A and B are shown apart, each in its own frame.
Chain A
Amino acid sequence: MLEHVELFFKSIFIDNMVFATFLGMCSYLAVSKKVSTAVGLGAAVIFVLAVTVPLNWLLDQYILRDGALSWLGPEYADYDLSFLSFILFIATIATMVQLVEIVVEKFSPSLYNSLGIFLPLIAVNCAILGGSLFMQSRDIQSLGLAFNYGISSGIGWFLAILAIAAIREKIRYSNVPAPLRGLGITFIITGLMAIGFMSFGGMLTGGDEEEEATPVAQIAPTVEEEIKVVAETVIATINEKED
C-alpha cells in the first residue's frame, strides 16, 4: 500500500511530466490559452494514460523484455525483443486512442463533445509515449502499480496545464515586453513554475525513518540474491574446469 501512495505522489509532484521531464510540451503550449480547453485536454490525457500504460506494461512483461517469451515454452526463453518496444508501444497507443474515440462517441456523446476533438491530438502527444517508456525504464513492478503510474502522471500533467492556462488568462491584462508576448513569456513562466515544483523534491527524501526503511529493505534481498547468483556461477565454472 505504502509503495502505491509513494508512487502516486512522486509521479504527480516530484517527477511531474511537464516540469521535470518536459513531456507533452507541444500540446501544453498550444492548448493552454483557455482554461476550459485545457481541462478537456488534461482529462483526455489522464484517461488515455490510464489505459495505455497498463496495456504496454503487459506487452513489456509478456512479449518484449529479455526472456519474457518463456511462457511459450523453454525454447523461447532466450529471445529479447525489447528493440521492438517503440513500434509496439506506439501502435498500441494509436489503436487505443482510435478505439477510445469510437467507444466514447457511441456511449457518451456529451463526453465526446468535450473530449473528442482532443483525442486525435493525443496519439502523437509525447506525454503518452513517454509514460509508457518511463514505465519500462523505471521497471515498474506490478500491473496495479503501472495503472497507478498512468493515472498519477496524467494528473500531474493535468495540474500543470490547468495552472499555466489560468496564468495565461490573467496575463492578458499585464504589460509584457512586446517580443516576449505569447510564446516567450509562457516559456519563462513554465520555467519559474518548474523551479517551484523542484521544492517538492524533499517530500520523499526528507520524510520520517519509516519511509527511508522501505527502499533499503527492498534493495537488501536483491543484493543478497545477486551475490548468491554470482557465487553459484563461480562455483559452477570451477566445477566445470575440474571436470
Chain B
Amino acid sequence: MGLLSKKDQKLILDPLADDNPITIQVLGICSALAITAQLKASIVMAISVIFVLGIGNVVISLMRNIIPSKIRIIVQLIVVATLVIIVDQVLKAYAYTLSKELSVFVGLIITNCIIMGRFEAFALGNGPWRSFLDGIGNALGYGVILIIVGFFRELLGSGTLLGIKVLGDPIELTGLYKYGYENNGFMLLSPMALIVVGLIIWVQRSRNKALIEEN
C-alpha cells in the first residue's frame, strides 16, 4: 500500500473491525437486517452503499465550506437522495427481479444512519480524498457484516449460496441431505437476522475485551 500513508490506511481498515459501523457504532442496522436472507441481495446492497457513501462523502466534503450549517441536513438528504435514485434506476434497468426483492430498502439507503453519520462526523470537516477513503472504509465495514450475516442465513436457511445448491438437493436427497440433514427455514425469517448479528457482536467482543460495554 505505497499509495496510502499510514493515516489513510487507518481510515479504511479501522471500520472493518474495531470501529465497525454496525457492531460498534450502531449505525445502519435497518437495512442490514432486512435484506440478508440471501447472499446475493446482501452483496448488491453492500455495493450500493459503497457507491453512495463514497461519492456522497466526496460531494459533501467539496461543498463543506459553502453549506450554511442551519440547512445542512436538507442539503445532505438531497445529495443522498440523488445518488440513491441513480442506484435505484440502475438496479431497475439491469437487475429487475433483485430490485423487486430489495423493494423499499434501496430507498431506505437515504435514511441509513451510516451515511448521515459519516457526513456529519467526517465529510463536513475533512478534505475530499480523506473523506472518500473514510466513506469507502465505513461502507466496507458495513458490507462485511452484511455479507457474513447473508452467508449464514442463506447457507443454513435454504442450503444454497448465491442460488447454487452447495449442500446437495433436498428433493432428490443428494449430498448432505442423504444423511438426514434438514434446512432450518427459521433462518430465513426476520428474527434470526437480529440473533445472528447479536452473535457476531458476542464473538467480536469476546476477542477484543476493550470493546465490552459497561451495561
Which residues of chain B come closer than 8 Å to A30, judged between CB atoms? Answer: 26
User: B103 interface residue, CB < 8 Å from A?
Assistant: yes
Cβ-defined contact, A22 with B81, below 8 A: no
Segment at the B interface, from A45-53, A63-71, A120-128, A223-231: A120-128
Which residues of chain A come closer than 8 Å to B107, judged between CB atoms? Answer: 85-86, 129, 133
If over half of A's interface residues share one DSSP class (helix, strand or loop), that class is named, otherwise mixed; here it is helix
A126-B78 contact, Cβ under 8 Å, with A26-B29, A181-B213, A184-B205: no
Cβ-defined contact, B34 with A179, below 8 A: no
* Distance A120 CA – B206 CA, assembled complex (angstroms): 35
- Least CB distance from A181 to B in Å reads 5
Cβ-defined contact, A22 with B30, below 8 A: yes
Which residues of chain A come closer than 8 Å to B215, judged between CB atoms? Answer: 172, 176, 181-182
Of the residues B111, B201, B212, contact of A129 by C-beta under 8 Å: B111
A123-B73 contact, Cβ under 8 Å, with A19-B190, A137-B103, A180-B198: yes
User: B98 interface residue, CB < 8 Å from A?
Assistant: no
Cβ-defined contact, A25 with B33, below 8 A: yes
Task: Among B77, B84, B203, find the residue whose CB has the most chain A CB atoms closer than 10 A.
Answer: B77
Cβ-defined contact, B192 with A191, below 8 A: yes
Cβ-defined contact, A86 with B33, below 8 A: no
User: A35 interface residue, CB < 8 Å from B?
Assistant: no
Cβ-defined contact, A188 with B30, below 8 A: no
Interface digits, A106-149 against B, CB 8 Å rule (1 contact, 0 not)?
Answer: 00000000000000100111101110011011000000000000
Task: Among B30, B199, B204, B206, find the residue whose CB has the most chain A CB atoms closer than 10 A.
Answer: B30
Q: Count of A residues near B, CB < 8 Å?
A: 50
* Distance A19 CA – B193 CA, assembled complex (angstroms): 11
- Least CB distance from B27 to A in Å reads 6
* Distance A26 CA – B78 CA, assembled complex (angstroms): 21
Cβ-defined contact, A26 with B27, below 8 A: yes
Interface digits, A196-218 against B, CB 8 Å rule (1 contact, 0 not)?
Answer: 00100000000000000000000
Of the residues A22, A185, A195, contact of B34 by C-beta under 8 Å: A22
Cβ-defined contact, B88 with A180, below 8 A: no
User: B97 interface residue, CB < 8 Å from A?
Assistant: no
- Least CB distance from B199 to A in Å reads 8
User: B108 interface residue, CB < 8 Å from A?
Assistant: yes
Cβ-defined contact, A133 with B104, below 8 A: yes
Which residues of chain A come closer than 8 Å to B104, judged between CB atoms? Answer: 130, 133-134, 136-137
Cβ-defined contact, B74 with A179, below 8 A: no
User: B28 interface residue, CB < 8 Å from A?
Assistant: yes
If over half of B's interface residues share one DSSP class (helix, strand or loop), that class is named, otherwise mixed; here it is helix
User: What residue of chain B has the Cβ atom nearest to residue A129's Cβ?
Assistant: B111
A29-B26 contact, Cβ under 8 Å, with A90-B81, A181-B214, A182-B214: yes
- Least CB distance from B153 to A in Å reads 13
Interface residues of B in 96-113 (CB under 8 A from A): 103-104, 107-108, 110-113
Cβ-defined contact, A126 with B112, below 8 A: yes
Cβ-defined contact, B214 with A87, below 8 A: no
Which residues of chain A come closer than 8 Å to B116, judged between CB atoms? Answer: 124
User: What residue of chain B has the Cβ atom nearest to residue A179's Cβ?
Assistant: B205
Cβ-defined contact, B89 with A83, below 8 A: yes
A183-B108 contact, Cβ under 8 Å, with A26-B113, A123-B73: no
User: A190 interface residue, CB < 8 Å from B?
Assistant: yes
Interface residues of A in 160-195 (CB under 8 A from B): 172, 176-185, 187-188, 190-192, 194-195
Interface digits, A67-104 against B, CB 8 Å rule (1 contact, 0 not)?
Answer: 00000000000000001111100110011000000000
Residues of B within 8 A of A (CB): 23, 26-31, 33-34, 73-74, 77-78, 81-82, 84-85, 88-89, 103-104, 107-108, 110-113, 116, 189-195, 197-199, 201-206, 209, 212-215
Q: Across chains A and B, which 6 residue pairs bring their CB atoms closest together, nearest first?
A: A182-B213, A187-B198, A191-B194, A179-B205, A194-B191, A25-B29
